[in-house]
Structure formats: C-alpha cells, structure tokens
C-alpha cells in the first residue's frame, strides 16, 4: 500500500515522498482504527468497500461493452491454452489463494457478535462465495481489457488495471482505479490486524502468551496491547524487508510465506474435519434421523481439499522459485518447528493451561450440528 501510494503521488502529482514514511503513517492509521473498535473498523471498511466495488464494476461494464462491440468476448481465458509460454501456473495459484487468505477472519470475532454459532459460519461461507465470484469476474475483465494475447506484457505491468482504465476511459478513471487499490490494501491490513489481535488475545488470556497481551480497553473493548504488539512487529518486519529488498519483493515474499502456511492450516483443518466426524460423531449423526452422516461434506470434500492443497504445495516447492521466494518454504518450516517447540515447553510448564485452552474449542457432544 505504501509503495503504491508513493508511485501514485509521483505519477499523478509529481510529488516524491519515500514509501517508508507512508508505511509508518499507514501503520499508525490502521492501528488507531483497530484500537477504536470492531464496529468502527467495520463501518469504515464497508464504506470503502462500496467505493471499491463501484469503481471495479464500472470498469467491468465498460470493458464488456467494448469487447462486445469488437467481438472479443471469448471463453479462452478459462482454458489452459491461453497461458503464456514459460508461465508457472502454480505461482499463479499461490497468488490467487493469497487473495482469499483472510476470508475466515470472521471466526476470530465469535466473542463479539450475537448468535455466533449461526452468524460466523454464514458470514464465512457468504464471504468466500461472493469474493470468489468477484475475483473471477475481475480476472476475466483484466484479461479481456489487456488482451488475451498480451498476457506476458500484463505480467510485467506494475499497474495493469491502471493501464486498462486509462485505455477504456482516460486518466481520470485510472486515478480512481489506483485509489481503489490503495483502499483495498488498507481494508486488508485492518482485517488482518483485527483478526490476529483477537487470536493473540485469546491465547494470552489462557496464559499461554504473556498475560499483558490480554489487556482489554475499558471503553472500546478492544485487545489494545495485542494490537500494539502486532503493529510494532509488523512495522519492524515490513520496513526491514522492504529496505533490504524492495517493497514489491518483500510483499511477494511475505505473501508466499503466508499462503504456504495458510495452505498447511487449511489442509490440517480438512483432515481434522474428516477425523472428527468419521471417528467421533458418525454414530451420533446416523442415529439422528434429521441429521445423517454426510459423505459429501465429511469425507469427499475434506479429502478433495487435502489432495488439491498437497498438489499446490508440491508444485511450488519443485522446481524451486527464484530468490527470494525460494526462502519462503524454509521460513515456514522454521516457524512451524518454533511453534512445536513452544507448544512442548508449554505442555511441560503449563499443562493445565493447555488442557483448558483445548476444552474451550471442543464442540459440546450434546449439540446437534447443522
């Protein structure tokens, strides 16, 4: 976001202010918004979301109209024959998954919503479906707008949507597209910080992290110390890697790390779903005439997820991607080993806290699952 803002100011207004200053300013803004409370964050995010959606859908409409007039509406982008030579489909999959990471953030707000057992699953599924449709639509628009045979140039373009918007409706519309991209980065940062802060708070409340991270603001009800700690560590990592490499390289590296870790989590979640319902809940579900064991939901879909995720992981590990992305799997592995080490230490020194935290997330055996 900060690097794009630097480029946007330089391109449109001839003002050059180094991205590191914008990074610090945006980090303060995001931290302050999250500090103020989830309702305030949500209201601001929804306002910006409506602006982003409006601008993007307007671009889609214009591209469709122009493509229709010139007879360029085609389904070729949905086939593999449209891939440029020497392209890496698995890297593309990683980038697409990175765009989805965070759809499950609603699950971290279970203690702050009414009727969470219905609201949270519904919000998660609706988000995944709507965002998926929107991403497919805009990817198709980008391909049509840039030209199906110009994908190599598309990949080398630092701001392809800016190029498309300028081509279809001039510089003013391109500026709106650029600004919408900046706002999307802001909304993403707020969502990540809100979700991560509540995870850190929940772990700290169980005394598995330092207790001071579980402090709650008396007025806003937000985990302020967790927000401060995450904002500070994020600023340190982001500025450090951005200066060491470039902001775009740092973003690609961190995005790959996040995606590989998220894929591992999603795979383990699918495995846990299969094991839990096939081993522990199958008999109970089959005895309930209104809620029988679903082979599609509890067996086929989890294993389809596991197989797909495994193939994506293998495809990104071999052949190794170029530097610095080749370091991402190593970082994920080290992070995983550190996590296992911390867990083992906690099991030795705080076994009761571990057992209590585990019981918090066990579904009541007497409940009927929808």
- Residue where a domain terminates, one of 199, 224, 244: 244
At residue 216, the pLDDT reads 95
Would residue 368 count as lying in a domain?
A: no
pLDDT tens per residue across span 104-151 = 888 888 888 888 888 888 988 998 899 999 999 999 999 999 998 888
Do 213 and 76 lie in one domain? The reply is yes
Within this chain, do residues 224 and 319 fall inside the same structural domain, yes or no? no
Say whether both 5 and 132 belong to one domain: yes
What is the per-residue pLDDT across 167-179, written as a single tens digit (0 to 9) for each? 999 999 999 999 9
- Same domain membership, residue 267 and residue 230: no
Residue 302: pLDDT band (50, 70, 90) is very high
Residues 214, 346, single domain; the answer is no
Would 278 be classed as within a structural domain?
A: yes
Are 155 and 15 contained in the same domain? yes
Which of 244, 279, 299 terminates a domain? The answer is 244
Segment 326-341 shows an average pLDDT of 93
Mean pLDDT of 153-163: 89
Among 244, 274, 297, give the residue marking a domain's end.
244
| 367 in any annotated domain | no
Mean pLDDT along residues 203-230 = 94
Structurally, the chain folds into a number of domains equal to 2
Verify that 72 and 136 share a domain, yes or no: yes
In a shared domain, residues 209 and 257: no
pLDDT at position 362 is: 53
Burial class (CB in 10 A: 0-12, 13-18, 19+), 193: buried
In a domain, 370, yes or no: no
| pLDDT (mean) for 54-83 | 90
Question: By the 8 A CB rule, do 113 and 206 touch?
Answer: no
Q: What are phi and psi of 323, to 5 degrees?
A: -65, 145
Domain membership flag for residue 209: yes
Residue 175 lies in a domain: yes
Does 263 share its domain with 221? no
Of the pLDDT bands very low, low, confident and very high (cuts 50, 70, 90), residue 285 is: low
- Are 290 and 232 contained in the same domain? no
Give the model's pLDDT for residue 18: 96
Domain extent, residue 262, equals 250-362
Residue 106 lies in a domain: yes
How far is it, in rounded angstroms, from Cα 281 to Cα 315? 35
Identify whether residues 209 and 322 lie together within a single domain: no
Same domain, 279 and 219: no
Q: Per the domain annotation, does 116 fall within a domain?
A: yes
pLDDT tens-digit series, residues 2-50: 999 999 999 999 999 999 999 999 999 999 999 999 889 988 888 998 9
């Amino acid at each position: 976001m900060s690097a794009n803002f630097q480029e946007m100011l330089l391109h449109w207004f001839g003002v050059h202010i180094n991205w590191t200053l914008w990074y610090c300013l945006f980090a303060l803004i995001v931290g302050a918004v999250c500090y103020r409370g989830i309702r305030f964050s949500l209201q601001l995010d929804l306002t910006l979301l409506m602006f982003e959606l409006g601008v993007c859908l307007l671009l889609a409409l214009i591209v469709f109209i122009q493509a229709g007039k010139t007879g360029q509406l085609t389904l070729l982008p949905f086939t593999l024959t449209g891939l440029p030579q020497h392209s890496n489909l698995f890297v593309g999959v990683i980038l697409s998954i990175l765009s989805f990471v965070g759809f499950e953030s609603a699950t971290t707000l279970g203690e702050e919503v009414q009727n969470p057992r219905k609201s949270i699953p519904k919000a998660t599924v609706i988000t995944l479906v709507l965002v998926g449709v929107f991403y497919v639509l805009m990817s198709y628009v980008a391909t049509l707008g840039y030209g199906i045979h110009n994908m190599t140039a598309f990949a080398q373009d630092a701001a392809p949507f800016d190029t498309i918007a300028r081509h279809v409706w001039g510089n003013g519309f391109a500026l709106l597209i650029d600004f919408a991209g900046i706002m999307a980065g802001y909304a993403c940062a707020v969502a990540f910080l809100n979700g991560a802060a509540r995870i850190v708070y929940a772990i700290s409340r169980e005394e598995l992290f330092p207790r001071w991270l579980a402090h709650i603001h008396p007025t806003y009800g937000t985990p302020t110390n967790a927000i401060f700690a995450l904002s500070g560590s994020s600023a340190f990592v982001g500025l450090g890697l951005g200066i060491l490499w470039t902001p775009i390289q740092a973003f690609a590296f961190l995005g790959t790390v996040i995606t590989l870790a998220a894929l591992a989590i999603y795979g383990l979640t699918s495995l846990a779903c299969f094991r839990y319902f096939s081993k522990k809940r199958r008999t109970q579900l089959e005895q309930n005439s209104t809620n029988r064991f679903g082979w599609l939901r509890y067996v086929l879909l989890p294993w389809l997820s596991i197989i797909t995720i495994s193939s994506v992981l293998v495809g990104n590990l071999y052949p190794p991607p170029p530097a610095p992305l080749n370091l991402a799997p190593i970082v994920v592995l080290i992070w995983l080993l550190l996590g296992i080490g911390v867990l083992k230490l906690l099991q030795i020194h705080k076994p009761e806290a571990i057992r209590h935290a585990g019981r918090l997330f066990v579904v009541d055996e007497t409940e009927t699952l929808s």
